[in-house]
């Protein structure tokens, strides 16, 4: 009799263990415990044109074309490669247009990574040039260029435009100061610039 | 001898029972995603915009609809509260069902992307190592947070006018140590991948985490 009871207990114990493995929910936190909120907001930006070759504006008096001189400042200013944007910057001094159909206000940030190819000039992240390093700024319409232009760093630049209203387009541009020392490779180099929209939060 | 065997069986059964209700966690695959719904109807009245964390809320203009001919993403800000070691964030718990966001309680957490082009477009969805326009009241996410985040498709190629959900999960290991009370990480969607452009727009989403006290 005693043996039977022990057998029965063993079977019941195993059954309980197996059942608890299959049906007991884990006690770790899940998304049921974490509160998630998100607003019905969307972001939508596009940019045009999508390219810029410094010193490409024919007839602006900057020669020779198709060549970037060392230690020279170039602007993506349709009025002239060497024409410094005004205070304040006007639309006509900006090469690029951001089309913004977002339904929330956004911050816009421009990053200008190191070049690849050719002399592979790197961004000083200071806005100034040096041996093998270039300086870069971003600017946008309405900005006081002389004091307000924003250093375009490799990454983590300050916002070029804060609190851009929903569905508001904006024109913008780049300033590039080439490295101080002469080119050695004689071949092109390229960098992929990004303009990043992040929802504005005061 | 037999009695010893029975006692051993009982002991094993007891250990298994205790282990299953205290420490083990089994990850459950999210439910099958719903079909994409490119054309949606927005709610006519804004939802409550008060953030549980008391932060400045994002106030979208709900009269503006996303364009069928532009790239767009939604949502753009997430807030997670009561996150702690062992948290698994992969499912919407928000009771506010919104057809634009496409999120419904119990469905997988996601970013919704739309290709506004007339040709296929490839996007790059990535965890951003350096925050843009960082929230001053939220710390940088500690380095290890990146390893908690899983993105279902990092280079989705969308067909013309296609809308697709990219699933995101945040799985905090049970061994996670001390974290800042509030921190932010960002997931970015870069457009123009594989195109000749050298100026590429990005749409950047904020993920604001409040750590369990």
**ipTM of the complex, rounded to two decimals:** 0.83
Residue of chain A with shortest Cα separation from B130: A156
Residue of chain A with shortest Cα separation from B11: A13
Q: Is B202 in contact with A52 (Cβ distance < 8 A)?
A: no
Distances (CA, A) of B205 to A22, A164, B132, B188, B208: 38, 16, 10, 6, 10
Distances (CA, A) of B128 to A128, A185, B161: 26, 33, 26
How remote is the C-alpha of A40 from its chain's centroid?
23
Minimal CA separation from A153 to chain B, in Å: 12
The Cα–Cα gap between A186 and B123 comes to 33
Q: Looking at beta carbons, which residues of chain B come within 8 Å of A45?
A: 71, 201, 203
Residue A11, pLDDT score: 63
Mean pLDDT computed over B25-36: 39
Residue A15, pLDDT score: 55
Question: For a pLDDT cut of 90, what percent of chain A falls above it?
Answer: 69
Mutate to test the interface with B, among A34, A161, A191 (most CBs of B within 10 A): A34
The 10s digit of each residue's pLDDT in B87-122 is 998 887 766 556 666 666 777 888 999 999 999 999
Query: Lowest-confidence range among A128-132, B27-31, B81-85?
Result: B27-31
Query: Lowest-confidence range among A38-42, A78-82, B150-154?
Result: A38-42
Residue A85 has pLDDT above 90, yes or no: yes
Query: Lowest-confidence range among A128-132, B58-62, B153-157, B190-194?
Result: B58-62
Residues 6+ apart with CB under 8 A from A176: A54, A73, A74, A75, A76, A112, A134, A135, A136
Minimal CA separation from B147 to chain A, in Å: 17
Q: Is B93 in contact with A192 (Cβ distance < 8 A)?
A: no
Count of positions (residues) in chain A: 202
Report chain A's terminal Cα–Cα distance, integer Å. Answer: 77
Residue B207, pLDDT score: 94
User: What is the phi/psi pair of residue A48, to 5°?
Assistant: -150, 145
| Model confidence pTM above 0.90 | no
Query: Lowest-confidence range among A75-89, A135-149, B46-60, B125-139?
Result: B46-60
Mean pLDDT computed over A29-45: 77
The Cα–Cα gap between A43 and A105 comes to 9
Q: Which of B13, B43, B203 sits opposite A14 (nearest CB)?
A: B13
Residue of chain A with shortest Cα separation from B173: A28
Minimal CA separation from B177 to chain A, in Å: 15
Question: For a pLDDT cut of 70, what percent of chain A falls above it?
Answer: 84
Mean pLDDT computed over A182-190: 91
Residues 6+ apart with CB under 8 A from B141: B183, B184, B185, B209
Minimal CA separation from A139 to chain B, in Å: 15
Q: Looking at beta carbons, which residues of chain B come within 8 Å of A198?
A: 132-133, 186, 204, 206
Q: Looking at beta carbons, which residues of chain B come within 8 Å of A102?
A: 72, 76
Mutate to test the interface with A, among B16, B50, B76, B113 (most CBs of A within 10 A): B76
Label the pairing between strands B163-171 and B88-89: antiparallel
Residue B48 has pLDDT above 70, yes or no: no
Q: Is B20 in contact with A21 (Cβ distance < 8 A)?
A: yes
- Judged by DSSP in three states, A145 sits in helix
Q: Is B199 in contact with A167 (Cβ distance < 8 A)?
A: no
The 10s digit of each residue's pLDDT in B49-72 is 444 444 555 677 878 888 899 999
Q: Which two tokens stand for residue A14?
A: 């195993």
Minimal CA separation from B12 to chain A, in Å: 8
The 3 state secondary structure assigned to A95-141 is CEEEEECCCCCEEEEEECCCCECCCCCEECCCCCCECCEEEEEEEEC
Residues 6+ apart with CB under 8 A from A192: A113, B198, B199, B200
- Half-sphere exposure (CA, 13 Å, Cβ side) for A177? 19
Residue of chain B with shortest Cα separation from A14: B13
- The secondary element (H helix, E strand) that includes residue B32 is none
Query: Lowest-confidence range among A79-83, A87-91, A98-102, B21-25?
Result: B21-25
Does residue A61 come out as left (phi exceeding 0), alpha (psi in the -120 to 50 range) or beta?
left
Q: Is B17 in contact with A16 (Cβ distance < 8 A)?
A: yes
Residue B194 has pLDDT above 50, yes or no: yes
Q: Which of A28, A36, A101 sits opposite B93 (nearest CB)?
A: A36
């Amino acid at each position: 009799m005693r043996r039977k009871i022990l057998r029965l207990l063993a079977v019941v114990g195993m059954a309980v263990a197996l059942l608890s493995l299959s049906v007991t929910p884990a006690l770790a936190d899940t998304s049921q415990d974490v509160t998630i909120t998100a607003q019905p907001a969307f972001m939508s930006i596009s940019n045009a044109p999508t390219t810029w070759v410094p010193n490409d504006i024919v007839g602006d008096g900057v020669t020779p074309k198709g060549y970037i001189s060392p230690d020279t400042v170039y602007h993506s200013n349709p009025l002239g490669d060497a024409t410094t944007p005004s205070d304040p910057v006007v639309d006509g001094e900006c090469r690029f247009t951001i089309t913004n159909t977002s339904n929330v206000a956004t911050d816009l940030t421009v990053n200008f990574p190191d070049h690849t190819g050719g002399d592979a000039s790197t961004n000083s992240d200071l806005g100034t040039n040096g041996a093998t390093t270039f300086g870069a700024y971003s600017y946008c319409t309405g900005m006081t260029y002389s004091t307000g232009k924003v250093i375009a760093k490799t990454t983590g630049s300050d916002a070029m435009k804060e609190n851009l209203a929903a569905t508001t387009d904006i024109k913008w541009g780049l300033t590039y100061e080439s490295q101080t020392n002469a080119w050695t490779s004689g071949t092109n180099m390229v960098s992929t610039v990004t303009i990043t929209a992040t929802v504005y939060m005061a | 001898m037999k009695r010893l065997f029975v006692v051993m069986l009982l002991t094993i059964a007891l250990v298994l029972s205790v282990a299953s209700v205290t420490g083990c966690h089994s990850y459950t695959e999210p439910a099958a995603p719903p079909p994409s719904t490119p054309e949606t109807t927005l709610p006519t009245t804004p939802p409550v915009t008060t953030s549980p964390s008391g932060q400045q809320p994002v106030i979208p203009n709900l009269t503006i609809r996303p364009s069928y001919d532009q790239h767009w993403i939604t949502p753009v800000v997430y807030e997670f509260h009561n996150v702690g070691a062992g948290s698994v964030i992969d499912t919407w718990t928000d009771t506010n069902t919104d057809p634009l966001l496409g999120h419904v309680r119990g469905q997988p957490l996601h970013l919704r992307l739309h290709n506004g082009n007339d040709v296929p477009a490839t996007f790059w969805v990535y965890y951003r190592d350096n925050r843009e326009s960082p929230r001053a009241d939220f710390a940088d996410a500690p380095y290890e947070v990146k390893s908690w985040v899983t993105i279902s498709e990092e280079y989705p190629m969308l067909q013309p006018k296609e809308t697709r959900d990219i699933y995101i999960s945040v799985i905090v290991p049970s061994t996670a140590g001390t974290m800042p009370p509030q921190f932010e990480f960002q997931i970015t969607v870069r457009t123009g991948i594989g195109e000749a452009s050298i100026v590429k727009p990005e749409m950047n989403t904020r993920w604001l985490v409040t750590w369990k006290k």
